[in-house]
Structure 1
Amino acid sequence: MNLASLRSVIARALILVAGVSSSAAHVVASADEAYPARPVKVVVGYTPGGSTDTVARLLATSLQQQHNQAFIVDNRPGAGGLLGAQAVVNAAPDGYTLLMAISSHTILPSVQKKMPYDTATDFAPIATLGTSPNMLVVPADSEWKSLADFIAAAKASPGTISYATPGIGTTTHVTAAMLEHASGIELNHIPYKGSSEVMQAVLSKQVPIAVASIITAGHAIRDGRLRALAVVGSQRSPLLPDVPTFEEQGVEGVLGDNWLGLLAPAHTPQPIVAELEDTIESLLAKPEIQDSLRLQGVAPQFGTSEDFGNVIANELKAYAELAKTTTLTMD
């Protein structure tokens, strides 16, 4: 190699090194940037005004006040929450697109024939906020005064009574399927796009009965527009202590305790996950936040990122087993 060629090679190498150094400096600057430095999107896979949306807006407002930065709720309803989750999976893993998830997140893989993402690996758990059990509800003037009344009517007319849920693969759908299996009845499932639509349907008597969480139906029960026939759980919910459980009324094996939690795309930087986790823990320790959640029908319950990840892993396995014995098919 002559001297001119050697000089050319050295020059190109210096340019390359300078470019790499510049890129590295940019990465370091980005990593050192305080989070959040711009508005954060919180995706909700259900309609505005529903239970998940209501809690998401409460959380977004609290996070905005805590960080002095906008947290904007973005509703992406459809497919039992799948469309919203897919939007988050496709977003950059930078902490600026988050998912407000509920328990149906771990049910969908067992009822959806083809998932557009991997529930186990495509998300980074941040924290859980609380839980809310499912109930069987009817209009206040319904002829069914008890769970026994409803089961008797369903047995007398198999497959003719329609019930509403916020969608296929939701925990409410699971609760109804378990009720059918446990009591030997056959019902007609009508899935809606969100819990607010379910409330409109049952209150307007488009459907005679619905499965809904306390988040969704609690207000209507307290003001006398709806009657709850039964609630899931081994004990009555402290949020609605007058509502008897399924077990109390002789129907065992009906589950459906909803969790609510925040997720990010997989590979979101750990410092950002930790920052959000710590913030949520501090928010849930505040009595006013706890009261606001209870008012919405949610029992406050903080879970760490690790706890949340374990819940997701355990439920994915449990619902896969459940799908083998319970009818949970996509329409």
Structure 2
Amino acid sequence: MNTMRHILACATGASLLAGAAQAQSPGQAAEILVPFTAGGVVDIMARGFAVALGKQLRQQVVVVNRAGAGGVVAMASLASAPADGHTLAYSVVTPLTVQPHRMKSMPFSPADIVPVCQTFENSFFIAAGPKSPYKDFESLRATARAQPGMITYGHPGAASSPHLSALELWRAAGLELSDVPYQGEAQMAPQLLSGQVALGAVTTAMVVTQKLQPLLVFASRRLPEFPNVPTSAELGYPIEPSGYGGLFVRKGTPADVIDRLESACGKAVHDPDYQDLAKKQFQMSEYLDRRAFTGRIAADYRIKGQLIPALNLTQ
């Protein structure tokens, strides 16, 4: 079975099981599909959000993991689920903004998915290890321009959000660095700390836990936790990374159901327990309503549609 047929089989099977269960139990719990395996940051955030959302909806909300194909399996499951608001997804936006430009064919269209509200955001950094000679972005930029291709940087995987953020930065700044891909930040950490790679495109969690030296943060404003770290925007590179996500339903869900979910979603994001969880996971519980979230995704989709083919990141 090829990859696409496997994705379709997983999505269709999940949808049929969900539909059968709903027919048997009309008052069943709502399901939130998560595109990653249990135990990761997005999964942990989703489980905390499910509790907060359940309080607002006054019903049980359970998390169901549908990992695979960079989030495509979960979104395909959502797209084929009944359009009644009982099946939701808590996901990063990359299955809608990145994967459509990378994959030759998709088992669903981004138009099949309706954003409800943004629920979290993760900031990414260009950071140096303790043995790196670079203490600020200006020194990095000067050296990279003088020695094209000589500086190495690591990232947690091809076309991951940190990787794409770094590629956008190098392209905008006219810099050429040597790309060193890893299978996640855990694999990259010892190489960065030992100086095997000079820099890393990393998450907030890695900056904090590994005590890295951040040179810049991909953001429009400085983060309170890092007041001395300049943003990419203030350095002249207004880059919008894809490290954010939220709650989604499938197209065709009744408008009154979406309105109710949006209202509950906003209140859940501002739930003190959820906000506390976000801080512990080094995430920002950044809320955007449906209109703003939809607009941000659309703009991100257009940007990635230009970037990914130009960088030969299609599969």
TM-score class, shorter-chain normalisation, is 0.7 to 0.9
2:284 matches 1:303: no
- State the shift of 1:159 in Å: 7.3
- State the shift of 1:221 in Å: 3.0
- State the shift of 1:60 in Å: 1.7
Query: Is the 8 Å Cα contact of residues 44 and 56 (structure 1) preserved in structure 2?
Result: yes
Cα separation, 2, equivalents of 1:93 and 1:128: 20
Cα separation, 1, equivalents of 2:128 and 2:100: 30
- The residue aligned with 2:108 is 117
Query: Is the 8 Å Cα contact of residues 203 and 226 (structure 1) preserved in structure 2?
Result: no
- State the shift of 1:175 in Å: 0.8
Deviations 1:5-42 (A, max 9, x none): xxxxxxxxxxxxxxxxxxxxxxxxx99x98xx323332
Query: Is the 8 Å Cα contact of residues 242 and 300 (structure 2) preserved in structure 1?
Result: no
2:65 matches 1:74: yes
Among 51, 55, 72, which residue is 1:61 paired with? 51
2:94 matches 1:108: no
Query: Per the alignment, do residues 70 and 140 of structure 1 end up closer, same or farther by CA in structure 2, a change over 3 Å counting?
Result: farther
- The residue aligned with 1:222 is 208
- State the shift of 1:322 in Å: 4.3
- The residue aligned with 1:327 is 311
- State the shift of 1:156 in Å: 4.1
Secondary structure of 2:286's partner?
strand
TM-score scaled to structure 2, two decimals?
A: 0.74
- State the shift of 1:64 in Å: 3.6
Within 5 Å, give how 1:227-242 maps onto structure 2: 227-242=213-228
Aligned length: 285
The amino acid across from 2:50 in the alignment is A
Structure whose CA Rg is larger: 1
Secondary structure of 1:237's partner?
coil
- RMSD of the TM alignment (CA)? 3.3
- State the shift of 1:224 in Å: 4.8
- The residue aligned with 1:17 is none
Query: Per the alignment, do residues 252 and 271 of structure 1 end up closer, same or farther by CA in structure 2, a change over 3 Å counting?
Result: closer
- State the shift of 1:236 in Å: 1.6
Among 168, 172, 185, which residue is 1:178 paired with? 168
The amino acid across from 1:244 in the alignment is P
**Percent of pairs with identical residues:** 21
Query: Is the 8 Å Cα contact of residues 46 and 63 (structure 2) preserved in structure 1?
Result: no
Cα separation, 1, equivalents of 2:264 and 2:84: 17
Unaligned runs of 5+ in 2: 1-21
Query: Is the 8 Å Cα contact of residues 79 and 251 (structure 2) preserved in structure 1?
Result: yes
Query: Per the alignment, do residues 235 and 303 of structure 1 end up closer, same or farther by CA in structure 2, a change over 3 Å counting?
Result: closer
Within 5 Å, give how 1:27-176 maps onto structure 2: 37-66=27-56, 67-78=58-69, 80-104=70-94, 105-119=96-110, 121-148=111-138, 150=140, 152=143, 156=147, 158=149, 161=152, 163-168=154-159, 170-176=160-166
The amino acid across from 1:229 in the alignment is L
